[in-house]
A and B are shown apart, each in its own frame.
Chain A
Amino acid sequence: MIAVAAIVAVGLAAGLLRLLPLAAKPTTGVPRVVFAAFGATSDVLFIAPATRPDERTVVDTVQHAEGWGINPGPMFERLLAYNVVPAGAPAGRGAPSELWLLNVATGERTRLARDADLLVKPQFVADGKSILYRRTDGDLQQVVRVDIDSLARTMIYEERTAFGVFPLGVDANGTLLFARLSNTGTDVLRKAGDASPVLAFHASDEIARDWQLSPDGKSLAFLAPLRRAERVVYRAAVVMIEGGKAVALPEGDASGEQYGPLWTPDGGSVAVGQEAASGAATPVVLLRAGGAPVPLATPARGFDVPVAWSAAGTYLAARTFDGQNSTNVGRESAVVIARSGERYPVSAPGEVILLGWLPDD
């Protein structure tokens, strides 16, 4: 509540906070970014025009256990799914969290489950009619599909493991995709109906991360650690799900770290952040097989990590760091990067959690 009050007070003092009706359309027609401001006991969710993030409208306030914020999955159109440990409930990463669905446009909220693993992001399936989440009982992990309309839940995969399985979504054939960690690294598996899962491809001998299913459901982009000179750096990879063939991306700075691979809405490119040289700045680049990297607007200092594209691909919501790389990260903030070259900071008293975009109006 203190955080909420602080945000409101700051906004009013600056004359920036416009309490618009939720359904009101922005007058300029620019897409609206959706984000949350973390607070100690509640996260406040906002929407704001891409070019004026300070002109924010409160969408909702999510109370949570002290210190433990929402863990959102990628948005599907106007829908946001997130895990949260509710206020007053036992806190901790091992505590059962609740899975909620929020219609950002209307503010309507629905609790879908009360047994989700807080740290594992929920994932919409391609048609937006159901959500995948993970739950754990001891060493038994289960991937559950919950139907948004009926709230019916179906356990679609389970495994006893000391490691973890992560639902990634549903591919172009409607087949469940999930990543599985083990002593041999990271595998991506497919599971159709009641059939046993089959290996789609071996992603890494180590821990791969930050999975992104392509818009057509045919490819996965992700980060995997690679040995480069004296360092081990995360590099972006793209693999075709059918056949497991890797897609060669332009190397750019081949020895440097890459961050946050994110498909452009048309599926033609993957945006990645890249580490900066000491004291310098490095932009996000769009990588396309067979093409030259296309840079976006460069930060004043440091580097950016892509999070979500607006529907038309004209704006990118990104985390931005004023440091150099994962070893020297510096301070984190949030920004909207326009394809036309402008950068619009998204600020809040606490951590900004970028959630996605409302569809262009």
Chain B
Amino acid sequence: MTRRTRILAALLLAAVLAALGAPGGERHAAACAFDPWRPDAYEGDQQRARYNAAIEAASVNRLLPSDSFFALPAIERGPRTARSQGAPFIPSTLLKAIAWVESTMTQAARAVSFDSVGPAQISFDCGHGIMQVTTGMTTPLGADGTPSARQASIATHYAYNIARGAQILAEKWNAAPEQIPVAGIDTASDPAIVENWYFATWAYNGFTGPGSSISNHPADPQFGSWPRPAYTCDGTQARNRYPYQELVWGCMARPDQRNGQLLWQPLAATLPNLTNAVVARALSVANWTYPYTGMDIPTPQPAHLAQPPVSLQSPAQLLGTPVFQASAQRLTINVNATGAASKATVRIHNAGTGVMTWIATTTDRFLVLSPPAGVAAGSDLRCTASDGCPDGSLVITVNPVLLPASRASGVIHLSSPNGGGQQVDIIVEVSAEFSIGAPGTSRTTP
């Protein structure tokens, strides 16, 4: 029996590996949480109305306020030596522009249609989704080396992705003055002033430079010949000419349009004036030493005060009430001699509303789960032109190379982080017993 399994394994190895090849074809610098697979994500409307509403709620901690992992923290303010905590707040236009620069405000890969489900957007450096969340997404953080439920939410669900991205930006802000400089030393570092987010925005992409390959220092000679015009955010200028924060400032001021409508209200925030002696002295290379205590700057003028969103959708409207439905079941997969990867499919249904994230895990490594996480759309969502709509679809494939024997069984745990606490176990029986025949020969298995 063991010898036969080995023969099977050898014969099927090439075909199965080809069939199971990593999706998307993109190279990753390092393993990401779901590598080599890619979870499915829900992509909202082309006008980004759903995403903008979620961003506005996140900007004042009205999206997921009761979940400490996703809630917006208190925002520090005040002078370097006397910081105090204030209400959670990020200018929503800043978040929208960051989302645009990061991903053109899309949760799924570019090939995925709006109002549908498809592979999540994951960059080479493990940036996930709308906000290209990298922190905590570079390795699986769940039990037994599997992705965690939080990672699944960030990868698949726009609201959790936006909330986490906003929280990370808030953490960058709060990293001043201990780790990054303070912008707005003359305005008590008021977070309602958009210009005061200059260093936090820089840090969102990496507080790097000048001269490094991922520099964001505005005086870095790498950004081409001086001077440079403002970034227009309309696709007519190469991004290589701009530090990250100037891309964001440009997109705040000049949002793209869809169907003749601006995607958000423009906000022409002011960049630091590099010819201003105070600013130039602060950004001097002499000050480029952690924790950058000499780099504090006054608020760039004219300054712009960001107002909290006038009308917010409630968390119930934004998130819906997803209800996880999947049947505990016992499946049998027969691996045959043709070399084709045998598979089974499990449907996951959302009996409620909103986007429901699901995640599937197993410790039985011969069971390959694709996608390892995904979404199911509720009855209130548009969901078209996709195999994964509205129900989620988990395809289970057997990797015979890793079978412990020609007959084996494994367990898949299926659950939803936001669809109720239920966990469904799927038992998979695998049979890889068959005879191998070659032309002109005859063999009987023992």
Contact = CB atoms under 8 A, between A and B. Distances in A.
Nearest to A185: B285
B235 A234 contact: no
Interface stretch (B21-29, B34-42, B170-178, B179-187): B21-29
Chain B, interface size: which category?
35 or more
Interface in B209-260: 210-215, 217, 219-230, 235-240
A95 interface: yes
Contact of A164 (B124, B212, B237, B284): B212
Contact of B221 (A69, A166, A227): A166
B276 interface: yes
A257 B275 contact: yes
Interface string A237-264: 0000000000000000000010110000
A326 B246 CA distance: 14
A46 interface: no
Contacts of A233: 275
A76 to B, nearest CB: 19
A340 interface: no
A319 interface: yes
Contacts of B288: 162-163, 183
A136 B212 contact: yes
A232 interface: yes
Nearest to A223: B226
A88 to B, nearest CB: 7
B237 A350 contact: yes
A321 B225 CA distance: 13
A325 B223 CA distance: 17
Contacts of B230: 329
A183 B212 CA distance: 14
* Most chain A C-beta atoms within 10 Å of own C-beta, residue among B214, B221, B273, B277: B221
22 contacts: A67-B238, A67-B239, A69-B240, A91-B123, A93-B213, A93-B215, A93-B240, A118-B213, A119-B213, A164-B211, A181-B210, A184-B286, A206-B219, A207-B217, A210-B221, A225-B219, A225-B280, A230-B277, A259-B225, A305-B226, A326-B274, A351-B237
Interface of A: 38, 40, 67-71, 88-95, 117-120, 136, 139, 141, 161-166, 181-186, 205-210, 223, 225, 227, 230-234, 257, 259-260, 305, 307, 319, 321, 325-327, 329-332, 349-351, 353
Q: Which 4 A-B pairs have the closest CB atoms?
A: A164-B211, A90-B124, A69-B238, A209-B221
Given A92-B124, A183-B288, 15 more contacts: A68-B238, A89-B27, A90-B28, A95-B124, A119-B222, A141-B213, A162-B212, A164-B211, A164-B222, A166-B211, A230-B276, A260-B226, A305-B226, A307-B225, A327-B274
